[in-house]
Amino acid sequence: MPKILKSPTRKTSVKAKKVVTSIKKSTKPTKKVSTTENKIKAPIKISKTYIPKDTEKYMCDKHLSFFKIKLTEWKKELVKANNEALYHGSMDDNSVSADIVDQASSYTDKNVEMKAINRQIKLISKIDQALIRIKDKTFGFCAETAEPIGLKRLMARPVAHLCIAAQEKHEKDEKVYADD
């Protein structure tokens, strides 16, 4: 019986040595992978005057960080404008006026302001969706066809999620259903 116990322990120790050597070999490539991951996670610094160029790789890290900065600044401006409009709108209450025409005019003005604020709130949600796409690295590619949207279109409308062809198709479909 002792002979049987000795031989399996020797085999397991040999196997353990083999495992250790293979682990040592596999740890070297993982260190290289982790250093490349660290390089990717490092924040990319771009100048304030940077504009994405067609000569660069489409939606490289510079492009993504540029659009992220642009969208976050746009969102801050919209939130600030909405807060000011809501604050000033609550301060201007002319509905107490004796003249019916003044009351109607005030009501119409508030209605227009509220519609504008609602449009801006929808735009803020589109900006949030675009920021999520930047995080997922799907920003700049059409949601339907997965083709590049294009830098010129994104510069004009950073919240665009469809390429021009898909957007035109979408608008035609809307028109067809609106006519029915």
Q: Is residue 14 located within the same domain as residue 71?
A: no
Q: Is residue 36 located within the same domain as residue 61?
A: no
Report d(CA 128, CA 75) in Å as an integer. 8
What digits encode the pLDDT tens for the residues 138-166? 999 999 999 999 999 999 999 999 999 99
Q: Is residue 28 located within the same domain as residue 54?
A: no
Q: Is residue 31 located within the same domain as residue 61?
A: no
Look up residue 29 and give its two tokens: 């490539």
Q: Is residue 102 located within the same domain as residue 127?
A: yes
Domain of residue 56, residue span: 44-179
User: In sequence order, what E strands does 62-103 have?
Assistant: none
Q: What is the DSSP string of 105-151?
A: HHHHHHHHHHHHHHHHHHHHHHHHHHHHHHHHT-TTB-TTT--B--H
Report d(CA 51, CA 75) in Å as an integer. 19
What digits encode the pLDDT tens for the residues 133-144? 999 999 999 999
pTM equals 0.67
